[in-house]
Amino acid sequence: MAGIVASSVRAGDKVCVVVSAMGDTTDELLDLARSINPRPPERELDMLLTSGERIAGALLCMALDTLGIKARSYTGSQAGIITDRSHGRAKIVDIKPTRVIEAIDRGEVAVVAGYQGVATDTKDVTTLGRGGSDTTAVALAAALGSDVCEIYTDVEGVFTADPRIVPDATKLSVLTYDEMLEMASSGAKVLMARCVEYAKNRSVKIHVRSSFDHSPGTWIVAEEESMERAIVSGIAHDISEAKVTLVGVPDRPGIAATLFRALADENLNVDMIVQNVSAEGKTDISFTVSRDDANRAAEVVERVAHAIGAAGYDVDQGIGKVSLVGAGMRSHPGVAAQMFEVLAKAGINIEMISTSPIRISCVMREDAVANAVRELHNAFHLELAESEDRLRIAQELNERYDE
Amino acid sequence: MAGIVASSVRAGDKVCVVVSAMGDTTDELLDLARSINPRPPERELDMLLTSGERIAGALLCMALDTLGIKARSYTGSQAGIITDRSHGRAKIVDIKPTRVIEAIDRGEVAVVAGYQGVATDTKDVTTLGRGGSDTTAVALAAALGSDVCEIYTDVEGVFTADPRIVPDATKLSVLTYDEMLEMASSGAKVLMARCVEYAKNRSVKIHVRSSFDHSPGTWIVAEEESMERAIVSGIAHDISEAKVTLVGVPDRPGIAATLFRALADENLNVDMIVQNVSAEGKTDISFTVSRDDANRAAEVVERVAHAIGAAGYDVDQGIGKVSLVGAGMRSHPGVAAQMFEVLAKAGINIEMISTSPIRISCVMREDAVANAVRELHNAFHLELAESEDRLRIAQELNERYDE
C-alpha cells in the first residue's frame, strides 16, 4: 500500500488514505472477545475492534516514512467522522475533517482509520459495520471534494459474475451507481451497498481496483445520457441468507405491520418479503434475513406468531439467491420471462421472486445456485456484456485520473 | 483481574481500574513497527502502541459484564489524561476525568487505558514511556481523591533484595515514598520512580500486591513521625546501565556544562556522574546511562570530545550497580563505610560511588553484582529488616482498606 500511495504523491496528488484492519485482525479480535464473553457489550466491542484500523494506519505511516513520504494517522474520531450512537452499525451523520485538511495542506498524507467514528452525543467510539472502511473512504472523499475515491481490494474489479463459478466472467470497466447498488445488495462482495449509496448521493466517482497490479479496475459513476444501457450487466448471487416462513396467517390488515415492526425493533435487516395469495382467509408470509440473524429472527417470529394467529413457522437455511442486474431492464420487459425460462430449462425450481426496475432476483435451493449463475451468464452472453460506449467512458476516466 | 474488581465492587467500593497491555502485546507491536521501519516516527509509534491498553480495557469490561458488573472502558484521551507533546515519554500536565467521574457516579466501573494520554496542543495521542500505566493509575487516584491506588503485579510486593539472587530476601510491608523512590531509581523493577514521585507529591497511598493471591503486599506511604527509621530497608541492583568516561579533559569551568547540555539536548537520561580529582590540569569525567542509550551517548561524546579538548573516551557496557536504601541512613553516617568494608572483604572493586541522604550506590563489574547483593543482605541482616512499628502500620492499613 505504501508503494501505491507514494507513487500517487510523487505524481503530484494530494492523498488521503483510509485503511481497514490487516488480514484477519478483526476476526481475531472478535474471537478474543467471544472467548471472554459470548455476548460482549456493543460499546466495548467497538472499543476493541477499532484498534485494528488504528494499528494498520500507524504502520502505513511508518512504511511511508521509510519511502520519504510524510504521513500522519488519525482515528475516525480524530478525522471528524461523527456518527449516531448505534454501536456496531453506526451511521455517519457528519464529517468534520479539520485535522485531515490541515495535514494535507501541510503536504502530508492523511491516513484515516476506516470503519469507525465517534458518537455525536456520547463521544463513545463507534463502528460502522461491515464494509465500513469503504464507507469512510467515500464519505471522506465527498467531504474533501476529492476527484476520485479509489478502493483497493483483492480482486481486479467488478465482474459479470463470480469468476470462481463462471470461468469466462469478464471484468466490467464501468457500472452506474444504481447497477452497482443492485449488484451489492444482491450478494456481490466487492462493495457494500451503503458505500455505493453514499457515493451516489454525493456524486463521488469510485474506482475499484486491485492492490496487487496497477491496471485499471471498475469505475462506478453516474449514469450518462449517452450511456448505452446494457440489458443485463452482471449476475450476483448470495448464499448467506435464510428464509423464514409463517404459515396459516389470517389475511387481515395490520398483520404484516406487526411482524415487520417486531423484526425492525430487534434491528433485524429483512431482505426479500413475499406474501402469497390468500386462500380461505389464510396466507403465508415468507422473508429472507442474513443466516447470522436467523436465530434472532426465529425468536421474534416465535413471539409474534401467536399474537397474529399464525398456524406455525419454518426457518430454511438451505436457500440461495441469484439476481440479474442491468440498467437496460427498465426498457426491456422480457428479461424476467427469459430468466425464468433459462432456470426452468435447467430444472431449477424458483421459490421466491422479487424485482426492482433494474434487477430480478430468484430464490432457489442453495445447491442450484452455481448452475443457475452459469446458465444465465451463458444465455445472456455476459462474456460480451460491455458496450462500446462504456469502454470509451472507462478509457477517458483512466486517462484523466490514472497517471 | 475481573474477579478482583468484582470483589471490590461487591464489597461496596467505587472502582476505577487502569489497565496495561496484556502479556507481550507492546513488544509484539514494537517488533511489528520495527520490521516496517527501523526508526518509526514517534507519533505513529504512539498511535500503534496505545492500541494494546485499549484492547485490554475493552476485554476487561466484557469479562466484568459476564460477572454482572457494569463497566465502561476509556482511552487515555477519553479519560482526560492531558500530556505534553513528547511522544514516547510524555508527561502528564493535567487530568480532566469528567467521563470517568460520570461513569463512577452511575455506579459503573471505569476502566481506563494506562500508559497514554492526549497532547494538550496537538491533540495527538501520546504515550508516557516505561511504567506509564502505573503513573496513569496514581495520577487518576489523585485526581479522583481515591483512598488507595492498588497496583497489581506479578510479584508479591517489594522485597529487601531480588529473591532470585537472595533466597531469604523478605517482603517489606511498608516503605516510605522516599525509600521507594531510591529503590526504584536504583534498579528495583516493581515500580517506576516517576510513578512513586507522583504519588508522593499528591499523597496517594500505593499498595503493591500480587494479581495471583489475595494476601497484602507492600504499602508505599508518607513517612510518619512515629515510624522507626530502618538503617537499611533494602538493596537494589541494576545491570542495565553502561559507563561512559571522557579522559584527559582540561579542568576548566564550563566543560561539564557543555557535555551534559549536549546529552540533555538529545534527551539522554544520565544517572550517576563522577569527576575525578584534577591532576596536572586534566581530569576524567564518567557518567552512566541506560545501555539502550549507550550508542547515542557515544555519538554525542564523540562530537563534543574535540570541542572540550578531551584526550579520548571509553564506553564500558560491563558494569553493574548495587545500592543500599534506608531512611535511617540520614542519622547513621557509618553505613557507607560498612558497605565498602563488606565489598572489600568479598574482593569486589568499587569503580564509582554516589550517595543521597538515604542511599549509597556502588558501581562494580557486572559479574560481581549478585555476590555483592548477597554479602550486603547478610551483613546488614535484611532478613530481619522490618521493625515492629512498620509491621503495625501495615496491619492498620490492611485492616482499614483491604476487606
pLDDT digits (tens, 9 = 90+) for A57-107: 999 999 999 999 999 999 999 999 999 999 998 999 999 999 999 999 999
Question: For residue B236, what pLDDT band results from cuts at 50, 70 and 90?
Answer: very high
**CA atoms of A333 and A338, how far apart (whole Å):** 10
For the stretch A190-229, pLDDT in tens is 888 889 989 999 999 999 999 888 789 999 999 876 666 6
- Summarize the confidence of residues A324-329 as an average pLDDT: 85
Inter-chain residue contact A73 with B40, CB threshold 8 Å? no
**CA atoms of A183 and A324, how far apart (whole Å):** 8
Write out chain A residues lying below 8 Å of B71, CB-based: 44
- Summarize the confidence of residues B219-223 as an average pLDDT: 91
**CA atoms of B115 and B23, how far apart (whole Å):** 15
Tell whether A28 lies on the interface with B, counting CB pairs under 8 A. Answer: no
Chain Cα centroid distance, residue A312: 33
Query: What is chain B's mean pLDDT, rounded?
Result: 90
- Summarize the confidence of residues B146-150 as an average pLDDT: 93
Nearest by Cα to B46 from A114, A228, A73? A73
Cell numbers for A249, please give them: 396467517
pLDDT at A277: 65
pLDDT at A268: 84
Tell whether B227 lies on the interface with A, counting CB pairs under 8 A. Answer: no
Q: How far is A118 from chain B (nearest CA, A)?
A: 11
Nearest by Cα to A267 from A76, A52, A42, A26? A42
The model scores a pTM over 0.90 = no
Higher pLDDT, A212 or B73: B73
Write out chain A residues lying below 8 Å of B75, CB-based: 47, 125
Q: Which residues contact B342 (CB under 8 A, 6 or more apart)?
A: B375, B376, B379
pLDDT at A143: 96
Tell whether A283 lies on the interface with B, counting CB pairs under 8 A. Answer: no
Comparing alpha-carbon positions, the chain A residue that sits nearest to B56 is A48
Q: Tell me the one-letter amino acid at B195.
A: C
Nearest by Cα to A29 from A9, A44, A7, A19? A44
Nearest by Cα to B135 from B194, B76, B53? B194
DSSP characters for B298-323?
Answer: HHHHHHHHHHTT-SEEEEE--EEEEE
Write out chain B residues lying below 8 Å of A29, CB-based: 55
Tell whether A43 lies on the interface with B, counting CB pairs under 8 A. Answer: yes
Share of chain A above pLDDT 90, in %: 63
Question: For residue A403, what pLDDT band results from cuts at 50, 70 and 90?
Answer: low
Question: For residue A278, what pLDDT band results from cuts at 50, 70 and 90?
Answer: low
Q: How far is B265 from chain A (nearest CA, A)?
A: 24
Inter-chain residue contact A58 with B65, CB threshold 8 Å? no
pLDDT at A129: 85
pLDDT at A228: 67
Nearest by Cα to B15 from B32, B2, B24? B2
Inter-chain residue contact B123 with A33, CB threshold 8 Å? no
Q: Tell me the one-letter amino acid at A6.
A: A
Q: Which of A29, A51, A59 lies closest to B33 in CB terms?
A: A59
Q: Which of A51-60, A241-250, B93-102 has the lowest mean pLDDT?
A: A241-250
Rg (CA), chain B: 23
